[in-house]
Structure 1
Amino acid sequence: MTQTRTETIALTDGSDIRVTVAEPEDPPRGGLVLLHDSSGAGESLRKLVGVLATEGWLTVAPHLPLAAGGPPDIDEPDAEPAAAGTVPTTAADLLVDVDAVSVWLTDQGVQADQIGLLGFGFGGVAAFTVAATRSVGAVVTVSAGGIVEPAAPGLAPLADIASELSSPWLGIYGDQDAEISVEQVEKLRESAAGAQIAVDVVRFEDADHRFDNDQEAAAEAWQRTLNWFDAHLR
């Protein structure tokens, strides 16, 4: 049976970060770093980590700091809403968190080229930013904004760094997303075409930001995500 737990990983600056981990029953095929959206490290994150583990991936989800007033961590439900200044707002901040999780995965026996990143919303922005700076096995982002304007001060617009991608990247978007226009997605596609790596952008005509309104699109997007990792994490 898949085991899910929460533990703490040390960061290089002497601080630490909480992570949710799920291990597959059999030896893992590789490792996945799951980066959550602005809804935080809630029950849906724990469930998704477990689902990915059932697919054979050792999965770890860092509990990223949230914007001021954001929801508390699932493991600290009685905590106060996040204070101002807690969001990792530079590429360096994001790299510290993801690097620590990646080191943890390699310590568990996962090879560096068998580590993938999966990010939703702001987590997708984080995954994309890391993929333009670090070489990992594969990256999938879902509804990652910040394409033409920075998602947060200190981060570059994704279209500006897309040609620097050094990891196979799949971007998934819904045309009905009220936060991200089709024009922005197409600009990102055009910019990413300059990367010297496999890239793909998939749009779903009837899906919104969270794919809640189109279960068929959500199922296909999920299968494409799994297929991308199957193809590139070998």
Structure 2
Amino acid sequence: MTETRTETFALDDGRALTLTIAEPERVVRGGIVVLHEACGVTDGVRLLASAFAAEGWLTVAPHLYRQDEVRRLSGDSVLADTDVAFAFLAQRGIAPDLMGVVGFDLGGAIAMIVAGERTIGAAVSIAAGGIINPVSPALPALIEIASELKCPWLGLYGDQDDEIDSSEVEKLRDAVIESGMATNVVRFADANHRFDSAPEAAYESWQRTLNWFDAHLR
């Protein structure tokens, strides 16, 4: 498995952000920005970054916040931080249409917010909350931005999720169609919030994520 490294990346305009980076050992196909959940950049996030790198994607996980700062998140702050991650990829010669963003839970909600504001190649949200009621007071509800998507978006949800009602997921499915972008919402009948109750669904969600980026980042 590809090892990760963590460093501070600074732009000429003074912006700087801590990034965890995983580089492919072969030709770089494009870039993936991995957005972490409320616990921050954990070993699981590093493992995910390594897994994408093993598939040929230059992968970067921006350190968006500490656990005690979640409620301070705003649309402007998450866009500013993900822009730094995209700038890192751009400096490595990766064009916007070869950049993707993916996140789980809170990171999944942020991934969709980014997809509604930035013209990139594709986005994937896994178990993204905040569909009707935003996950942070200064973030939009996903249903409010669903029609504004600027790139293909894939949403993956488990029907056994105690935190997200499947009726909200269906409302989101209907809403994203209005964006005119390629979208897909997949519900897994036996999966819970973290997909750990259904290994087959977890594997399928991973394959669907890879296939989504394969299809749209080209």
TM over 0.5: yes
Distance 1:229 1:185 in 2: 22
Distance 2:76 2:134 in 1: 15
CA contact (8 A) 1:167 1:198 kept: yes
Shift of 1:170: 0.2
Secondary structure at 1:139 match in 2: strand
Find the counterpart in structure 1 of residue 28 from structure 2: 28
Distance 2:196 2:3 in 1: 27
Find the counterpart in structure 1 of residue 17 from structure 2: 17
Find the counterpart in structure 2 of residue 194 from structure 1: 178
Distance 1:11 1:39 in 2: 26
Letter in 2 for 1:64: L
Secondary structure at 2:113 match in 1: helix
TM-score, with normalisation over the residues of structure 2? 0.95
Decide whether aligned partners of structure 1 residues 13 and 129 sit closer, same or farther in structure 2, where only a CA change above 3 A counts: farther
The 5 Å alignment of 1:211-222 reads 211-222=195-206
Find the counterpart in structure 1 of residue 39 from structure 2: 39
Distance 1:88 1:134 in 2: 21
Shift of 1:12: 8.0
Letter in 2 for 1:100: V
Secondary structure at 1:6 match in 2: strand
CA contact (8 A) 1:117 1:140 kept: yes
Secondary structure at 1:224 match in 2: helix
The 5 Å alignment of 1:102-117 reads 102-117=86-101
Secondary structure at 2:154 match in 1: strand
Secondary structure at 1:64 match in 2: coil
The 5 Å alignment of 1:64-103 reads 64-68=64-68, 85=69, 89-103=73-87
Count of aligned positions: 218
Shift of 1:156: 0.9
Letter in 2 for 1:31: G
Distance 1:8 1:206 in 2: 40
Secondary structure at 1:229 match in 2: helix
CA contact (8 A) 1:22 1:58 kept: yes
CA contact (8 A) 1:6 1:18 kept: yes
CA contact (8 A) 1:37 1:122 kept: yes
Distance 1:220 1:54 in 2: 18
Q: Which runs of 4+ in 1 moved over 2 A?
A: 10-16, 85-88
Shift of 1:66: 3.1
2:151 counterpart of 1:167: yes
Instruction: Give CA deviations for 1:150-196 in whole Å, capped at 9, x if unaligned.
Output: 11011111001100001100000000000000000001011111011
TM-score, with normalisation over the residues of structure 1? 0.89
CA contact (8 A) 1:12 1:96 kept: no
Find the counterpart in structure 2 of residue 60 from structure 1: 60
Distance 1:119 1:12 in 2: 27
Greater shift in the superposed pair: 200-209 or 2-11: 2-11
Secondary structure at 2:114 match in 1: helix
2:130 counterpart of 1:146: yes
Decide whether aligned partners of structure 1 residues 185 and 13 sit closer, same or farther in structure 2, where only a CA change above 3 A counts: farther
Distance 1:28 1:3 in 2: 16
Letter in 1 for 2:50: G
Decide whether aligned partners of structure 1 residues 89 and 12 sit closer, same or farther in structure 2, where only a CA change above 3 A counts: farther
Letter in 2 for 1:110: I
Distance 1:123 1:62 in 2: 11
Q: Which has the higher helix share?
A: 2
